[in-house]
Amino acid sequence: MTTAMPELLTVPEVMARLKVGRTKVYDLIRTNRLASIKVDGCRRIPNDAVGAFIRRQMGEAA
C-alpha cells in the first residue's frame, strides 16, 4: 500500500484559491496560520494546509 504525497501549491495558486493577494498569503504563512515548506528556496503550500485553513476559518465564523 502506498501513501499519496500531498499536492504542493505555489503562492499564486493559493492566492487564486483563497481570493486574496500575495501579501496576505505570506502574512498567513508568517503568522503560522497557513503551513508551508521551502523547496530549494521556493515556497510551497500543501493542498491539505489550504483545506485545513478554510475549515478553521469556517469554524471560527460559526
Q: What is the pLDDT along the chain (62 residues), one digit of tens a residue?
A: 556 667 999 999 999 999 999 999 999 999 999 999 999 999 999 999 999 999 999 998 87
Question: Residue 60: what pLDDT?
Answer: 87
Distances (CA, A) of 54 to 13, 34, 38: 15, 10, 22
The Cα 61–Cα 33 span in angstroms is 15
Whole-model pTM: value is: 0.85
Residue 1 lies in a domain: no
Question: Residue 2: what pLDDT?
Answer: 56
Residue 50 lies in a domain: yes
Question: Residue 56: what pLDDT?
Answer: 95
Residue 26 lies in a domain: yes
Residue 3 lies in a domain: no
**Which residue segment(s) compose the domain that 34 sits in?**
8-61
Residue 36 lies in a domain: yes
Question: Residue 33: what pLDDT?
Answer: 97
What is the total residue count of the chain? 62
Question: Residue 62: what pLDDT?
Answer: 73
The count of domains in the chain is 1
